[in-house]
Amino acid sequence: MNKHITLLAGASSLFLIPSLAFAAPAKSNDEVIAGLRDNALQADNIAYDIVEGLTTEIGPRQGGTAAEARARIWAVAKLKALGFENVRVEEYQMPTWVRGTETAEITAPFTQKMVVAALGNSASTGDAGIDAEIVYFPIIDDLRTAPDGSLKGKIAFVSHNMKATQDGSSYGAFGPARFVGPNIAAKKGAAAIVIRSTGTDYHRNPHTGNTNFEPGVAPIPAGALSIPDAENLERMIARGKPVRMKLKLTPQNVGMQTSGNVLAEVKGSNPDLPIIVIACHLDSWDLGTGAIDDAAGCGIIGAAAKHLKSMGQPKRTVRLLWAGAEEVGIWGGRDYGEKHTSEPHAFAMESDFGAGKVWAIDFNLSDSASALRTQIISALAPLGVVPRKDAAGGGADVGAIIAAQKLGIIDLQQDGTKYFDLHHTPDDTLDKIEKAELRQNVAAWVATLAYIANYEGELKPEPAQ
């Protein structure tokens, strides 16, 4: 529990006798919330414990797999132990793809192995692999403009060089090499595609992630090279001779499997007020242990909701959604949206961008809530959080319920400068978590939640422009 708050409460009760010369007033709501915030910033261990537990006792937990099922059992036990109410699993079925063997080797004009990982939904090369000439596209747009059929029997190589940005916007700009590059290459007849990993590090750890093929387009083998390997391949290509690669990727589609969301609640005192949903995702990619993506998010929202309870019962119910199968297609978020579409929600938040400090806050709240907005901005200012004019968007797992019910949203934007060094790589492990930064997230979240969960006015989004 909250040692700092306990001390303050003890101290202030001493001073509440009005006849004392130095009597202090009862603590205001703002002061109580500031206390919750500062306590989390100084001393929260709940978030770290959740990340430590998931990464140590479960590790990788890809959507639809047995490891994700173990993670649900773990999550239910942890959320119950933290004292949340209505802890439960909501299952659903989903098609599941799993990684096989993966090797890549340059066979001409030099001989050298490279480090590769299949992208989610990649086809298999078969055990024999594919030995084919590389066709080089420095950026994704070069692939888009390649003539149809020009890639027949070749391996396309797209080296789309992403750089780090604080707000993560480079993912949207450079991610299409992964998101749609394989589909484009397949339509142009390529035998396979390899991309420079969508990432910003220099380690021999490829960045996996889903890719998608349009209906009617037969999937091709699709892999991500580690960034040092992609740059090595570029240097080989620059020498001017044809470069050949032997590529072996043997993933499989294993059919419909069970996945599920884990839900838990802090029950509100007024059942007439629509609820607040806060989300992270429980699944992770299979290469790392899913520390920053997204055990951190589950740690942050779990810790913030736990600290919120120490203030007493909030007016609105706060529901935690530890979503399943986000990485492989947002199956959990969609299932939540469908199953809860007729249950009144007011507001949504999500934490799914690592464990870097919250540096900005974005809102999607109508003007009727402007006083609330000002309170939250003031409460987050000591944490160095900048209010911006960007409209909050929520996140993948709250996307379906937001779309269904037009919810108010706040985004606590995390610093993503280092996020894409680790995203979807084997390197996403516990040691990458900075405790002080994780605590700052919990502090920002508990203060925000404390205002929102006790606000009885409307939490509508801004009217559509």
Q: How far is the CB of 48 from a copy of itself (least distance, A)?
A: 12
Q: Tell me the closest approach of the beta carbon of residue 236 to a copy of itself, in angstroms.
A: 6
* Chain residues in the site for a copy of itself (CB under 8 A): 52, 55-60, 67, 70, 110-113, 115, 202-205, 227-228, 231-232, 235-236, 239, 288-289, 425-427, 429-432
Judged by CB, which is closer to a copy of itself: 32, or 71? 71
Compare residues 280 and 430 and give the one whose CB is closer to a copy of itself.
430
- Cβ nearer to a copy of itself, comparing 186 with 295: 295
Q: How far is the CB of 54 from a copy of itself (least distance, A)?
A: 11
Min dist CB 246 to a copy of itself, Å, is 15
Helix-helix angle 435-453:370-380, to 10 degrees: 160
Of 112 and 252, nearer to a copy of itself (C-beta) is 112
For residue 284, the minimal CB distance to a copy of itself (Å) is: 12
Q: Nearest approach, Cβ of 425 to a copy of itself (angstroms)? A: 8
* Closer Cβ to a copy of itself, 334 or 423, answer by number: 423
- Residue with smaller CB distance to a copy of itself, 30 or 234: 234
Q: How far is the CB of 205 from a copy of itself (least distance, A)?
A: 6
Give min distance, CB of 59 to a copy of itself, in A. 4
Cβ nearer to a copy of itself, comparing 228 with 393: 228
Closer CB to a copy of itself, 235 or 389, in the complex? 235
Full 3-state SS string of the chain: CCHHHHHHHHHHHHHCCCCCCCCCCCCCHHHHHHHHHHHHHHHCCHHHHHHHHHHHHHCCCCCCCHHHHHHHHHHHHHHHHCCCEEEEEEEEEEEEEECCCEEEEEEECCCEEECEEECECCCCCCCCCEEEEEEEECCHHHHHCCCCCCCECCEEEECCCCCCCCCCHHHHHHCHHHHCHHHHHHHCCECEEEEECCCCCCCCCCCCCECCCCCCCCCCCEEEECHHHHHHHHHHHHCCCCCEEEEEECCEEEEEEEEEEEEEEECCCCCCCCEEEEEEECCCCCCCCCHHHHHHHHHHHHHHHHHHHCCCCCCCCEEEEEECCCCCCCHHHHHHHHHCCCCCEEEEEECCCCCCCEEEEEEECCHHHHHHHHHHHHHHHHHCCEEEEEECCCCCCCHHHHHHHCCEEEEEEECCCCHHHHCCCCCCCHHHCCHHHHHHHHHHHHHHHHHHHCCCCCCCCCCCC
Q: Which is nearer to a copy of itself, 52 or 85 (CB)?
A: 52
Q: CB of residue 431 vs a copy of itself: minimum separation in angstroms?
A: 5
Q: What are phi and psi of 287, to 5 degrees?
A: -85, -40
